[in-house]
Structure 1
Amino acid sequence: MSSEALTARAGIDMARVRAWLPAYGVYVAIVLLVLYNIFFTPYFLTWSNLRIQLIQVAPIVIVALGMALVIGTEGIDLSVGSVMALAASLIPLYLGYGVVGAILVSLLAGLGVGLVNGTLVARVGLQPIVATLALFVGGRGLALVISGGQLKDVRNDNLIFLGSGDLFGLPVLVWIAAVLVLIVAFVVRRTVFGRRLLAIGGNRASAELAGLPVQRVLIAVYVTCSVLASIAGLLAVARIQSSDASAVGLLIELSAITAVVVGGTPLTGGRVRVLGTVAGALLMQLVVATMIKHNLQPSTTEMVQAVIILIAVYVARERKTR
């Protein structure tokens, strides 16, 4: 075989690798990391360790699902952590009316924040990063005002069961996250709303010219993202059995964006990889857990996470360019 043929064949193979990497690279990374931990991390395969990892990643998955929908429209939502804090601050205030009432109030708070974000983006025309940055700051401030800046204990067996109970051998928290994953995947793949969402992210101007209800879809997407963040916030309260508005959801927006990007959803919109988002959250959780178990400094963990993000963004950029 001539050198030109070998070069051409190598080029074809590299092209296939570049096309395959953004979609499936995260799964390969998870497999490699799991294999590493099996051989080099003591007690990695114990049920107690796996349970802890699942419980810790579940809230990130829930928030990342909403973030994936927003990024699919070529947007961003920096307020999800503040929404979690706001939902957490409301739980102790309304728990006296019953756990259902407290949950509904926290979800309504998320719905309200989503309406504000969606309206600012869709109707006022603000850039998503600017619109959500206001509530990124103001939302947590409001949560601190509501809670009086104090940590409040939560003592309700029904609520605590959502965060600490088991169902068929798995934590209830994990079951809730799994159900939400299935719902979001169905919406994106099988509904008219999902197709409209992707069309808007692919080209908003064309979607408007085609007569799609762009404003309504965008508002619905931001509402969904905030409601999912509210769910994550109330589950965080149920798990730690206390409400701390200064700590609940702190910087989770960065973890959610990382999970979405690493999972293969491009920041340029037009595509949502739901299972990839879940895989991205699992990968980052495994990276953090592995480094903690091997006694590495938190600064090292953060640098490794930054490198993973840069690689994921670069790969997505290369794919978009092609």
Structure 2
Amino acid sequence: MTQSLSQTPARSRSHFDPFAFLSRYGTLIALLLLILFNLLFTRNFTTLQTLNVNLTQVCTIVIVAVGMTLVIGTGGIDLSVGSIMAISGALAPMIFLGTIMPVSNIAVSVTAAMVAAVLVATLLGLFNGWLVAYFRIQPIVATLVLFIAGRGIAQVLTNGNLQVFRLPEFQWIGLGRPFGIPAQVIIMAVIVLLAAWMLRRTVFGRSILATGGNERAAELAGVPVNGVKLAVYAISGFCAGIAGLIVIAINSASDANLVGMGMELDAIAAVAVGGTLLTGGKATIVGTLIGALTIQLVRYTLLANGVPDAAALVVKAAIIIVAVWLQQQGRVR
């Protein structure tokens, strides 16, 4: 009897839970299977052009999704990222094209345009955090303000006009190839690495998860909850600002009606599929990267094999549902 009782915990510890396993590794397995499928059945998958197309389309999603991951980690949400991208993308050309003031030095003008655009985007994110932290407005409502008004602000700034430009000094951020690597991929990698390190290795990262896990307990433990919320929304705005610059640099034009359109949904999808709990308290930057790559590769795979884009959107929605369901099953078990 004694031997039997002593062996029971060992058997419990060795029990394999498929739901917990899939909740943790399902997205990575799906990504590897997609890569294998394309290697076997999709023509030209291994070409440099295909790699560039997929990386170009996924980089801005990943950059925005990194900021979204931190926000969701606190139990919040940011619906304004697409509109903030539009504002950033509208403001920068107004500066380096001389719409606001004459351009005397192109290098100074481009630098000022980038700094100003990202700074304004960060301040808009800070505004979201202010509404959430100090006015106690629900995040989905607080960020809905800029979701609606932000794109209108971008359209007012440009009078609804398309801003077209050919300016290598600025467009390197989207079209540059230092060391043969797309500049936006380098920017994405830096942001992902910094955010992953911060989330796992710093007090601020632990404060984010504590805030999302149990806000009241975090306050009692001395976590500056309001400051954490301000910071994550500011970071989300910062990431959206950079993404807006990359998009207009790639397109050689800024259209306030289109820049960042639907980006908030793509970012949230990448976060959800990557394993971050939408209720807060758990976040993974690497998971978000894998989630974004998986969603992009699903879309590419379907399009490359003759499936209409509308069907690809349906499949993406189904993937999100499955990912969230697996998360819930993993938590319950």
TM-score normalised per structure 2:
0.91
In structure 1, what is the equivalent of residue 120 of structure 2? Answer: 109
In structure 2, what is the equivalent of residue 83 of structure 1? Answer: 84
In structure 1, what is the equivalent of residue 139 of structure 2? Answer: 128
In structure 2, what is the equivalent of residue 195 of structure 1? Answer: 206
Q: 2:240 aligns with which of 205, 220, 229?
A: 229
1:93 lines up with 2:94 in the alignment: yes
Q: 1:282 aligns with which of 293, 305, 313?
A: 293
In structure 2, what is the equivalent of residue 178 of structure 1? Answer: 189
In structure 2, what is the equivalent of residue 34 of structure 1? Answer: 35
In structure 1, what is the equivalent of residue 167 of structure 2? Answer: 156
Correspondence 1:217-256 to 2 at 5 A: 217-256=228-267
What is the count of residue pairs matched by the alignment?
313
In structure 2, what is the equivalent of residue 207 of structure 1? Answer: 218
Task: Measure, in 2, the Cα distance between the counterparts of 1:134 and 1:161.
Answer: 33
| CA deviation after TM superposition for structure 1 residue 13, in Å | 5.2
After superposition, give the CA deviation of every residue in 1:90-125 in whole Å (9 maximum; x if it has no partner): 011111451110011111211221121001101100
1:71 lines up with 2:82 in the alignment: no
SS of residue paired to 1:64: helix
Q: Which runs of 5+ in 1 are unaligned?
A: 1-8
Task: Measure, in 1, the Cα distance between the counterparts of 2:88 and 2:307.
Answer: 34
Q: Which runs of 5+ in 2 are unaligned?
A: 1-10, 104-108
In structure 2, what is the equivalent of residue 6 of structure 1? Answer: none
Counterpart contact for 1:63–1:80, Cα < 8 Å? yes
Counterpart contact for 2:131–2:137, Cα < 8 Å? yes
The alpha-carbon distance between structure 1 residues 119 and 316, as it changes in their structure 2 partners (threshold 3 A), is same
| CA deviation after TM superposition for structure 1 residue 154, in Å | 2.3
| CA deviation after TM superposition for structure 1 residue 318, in Å | 1.5
In structure 1, what is the equivalent of residue 304 of structure 2? Answer: 293
In structure 1, what is the equivalent of residue 316 of structure 2? Answer: 305
1:222 counterpart letter in structure 2: Y
| CA deviation after TM superposition for structure 1 residue 201, in Å | 0.7
1:262 lines up with 2:273 in the alignment: yes
Task: Measure, in 2, the Cα distance between the counterparts of 1:320 and 1:82.
Answer: 34
Task: Measure, in 1, the Cα distance between the counterparts of 2:136 and 2:175.
Answer: 42
TM-score normalised per structure 1:
0.94
| CA deviation after TM superposition for structure 1 residue 155, in Å | 2.4
1:22 counterpart letter in structure 2: S
Q: Percent identity?
A: 47
